[in-house]
Structure 1
Amino acid sequence: MPKIVDHDARRRLIADALMKVAADQGLEAVSLRHVAAAAGVSVGMVQHYFHTKDEMMAFALAAVADRAESRIRTAVTSLGDSPPPRLLLRTMIAALLPLSGAARDDGRVALAFLAYAAVRPQAGQGLRPGTAQLVDFIAGLLPDPHGTPAATALLALMEGLGVYLLGGQLTPDQALAALDAQLDVLFLP
């Protein structure tokens, strides 16, 4: 009887190994050989599921996005029905910030991917629709007349805070205080 292979599980195993290599050693260490070693599989198996480094990176970033979405969903669900917009935004952004544990690992992978995409724009093309959706969602929560420019600035603040958290220039308390200060400006009565 032929062996039944769970291809999704193998892709996740390889993606998890890729994320571990990227989080521990940086994106420059990501190669088919390093990912295969971290996953405990052959280089040929990695090549079977991911033909290029770009494909591996896109899959890993999608896995990071899925985990971030799960963190957001859990955090927002704890707020109950119809939370105030300011609290909803703070909760969502705090769930996205690399404040500790798995969020820090995911943040390192996301930052590495953004650096990778900065010199390979085609690798980052898939980020545009999600970014536009996030900006539109945030803009919808902000009081008038802030809209899209303020939503874009808030998203940029979140990204900058994430970089400073990962680099150790800010503590989680300092990052959250900066976020609160900006939300206070946007939600002044």
Structure 2
Amino acid sequence: MPKLADRDARHTQIMEALLRVAGSQGLHAVTMRSVAAEANVSLRLVQYYFQTKEKLLLAALDHLAERKRERIAARVNAATDPDDPRTVIEAVLIEALPSDEDSRTFHLVYTAYAVLAAADPALAVRPFLQAPDAMERFLTDQLQRAQRNRALDARVAPQTEATLLLAMSAGLGTSVLLGQRTTDDATAVIRYHLDRLALQHSPT
């Protein structure tokens, strides 16, 4: 039986290989054999850890969701004022854009999984596809904090605005992915909208 540390390392190695295959060739190209070849491990090892392709895909969903959470947390923590709602909201929305190879892969794989989940209820209940609901609650909380800090008009409906912000960010992300606009252009649109919303930085 492999040691826990070895199991974790192998698990991550296989997950990252799956994402590379899905990101470069599409989710339809993901098989246990193609993932094993990309990870430079034996097919038997992939089968040992995941048994079936379905379990492999479900594990990849969870892995991708966790990696996205880590990227968002890192961007927020690196912000000038990680406790300021405007700073946090802007960081979260910009992180959602496909600005590098990692986030581009996220968008490609997420979209492909979303299409599969529409036809397979088993995928729709995974944390990966529940993440938008959690993000909506998070943004709603940040907008409510801004209102309490008098940095946002009290007439704004936080939950509705959070929904709009996520929809805008997702649409911009797709347009960047398709080459319709650059990441800088999309970032400017996000900042323009937050300015138009009159979402201010909270007083210190």
TM-score category (smaller protein): 0.7 to 0.9
Give the root-mean-square deviation of aligned CA atoms: 2.3
Write the distance in 2 (CA, Å) between the matches of 1:81 and 1:171: 26
* Structure 1 segment 31-180 matched on structure 2, within 5 A: 31-81=31-81, 83-127=83-127, 129-142=130-143, 143=152, 144=154, 145-180=156-191
Residue aligning to 2:196: 185
Amino acid at match of 2:45: M
Contact in 2 for aligned 1:135/1:148 (Cα 8 Å): yes
Distance (Å, rounded) in 2 between the aligned partners of 1:11 and 1:188: 42
Alpha-carbon distance in structure 2 between the residues aligned to 1:174 and 1:24:
25
Contact 1:165–1:172 (CA under 8 A) maintained in structure 2: yes
Deviation of 1:73 (Å) = 2.1
Report if the CA contact (8 A) 2:76-2:82 is conserved.
no
On the 8 A contact 1:86/1:187 being kept in 2, the answer is no
2:170 and 2:30 map into 1 onto residues whose CA distance is 23
SS for the counterpart of 2:41 is: coil
Would you say the 8 A contact 1:61–1:109 is kept in 2?
Answer: no
- Cα separation, 2, equivalents of 1:43 and 1:106: 25
Determine the C-alpha separation between the residues in 2 that align with 1:141 and 1:160.
21
Unaligned regions of 5+ residues in structure 2, if any?
144-151
Deviation at 1:3, TM superposition (A): 6.7
| Identity score, percent | 35
Per the TM alignment, residue 38 of structure 1 is displaced from its structure 2 partner at its CA by 0.9
- Bigger shift: residues 45-54 or 74-83: 74-83
Structure 2 length-normalised TM: 0.80
CA contact (8 A) 1:135 1:155 kept: yes
The verdict on how the C-alpha distance between 1:130 and 1:102 changes in structure 2, with shifts beyond 3 A counting, is closer
TM-score (norm 1): 0.86
**Contact 1:23–1:108 (CA<8 Å) still a contact in 2?**
yes
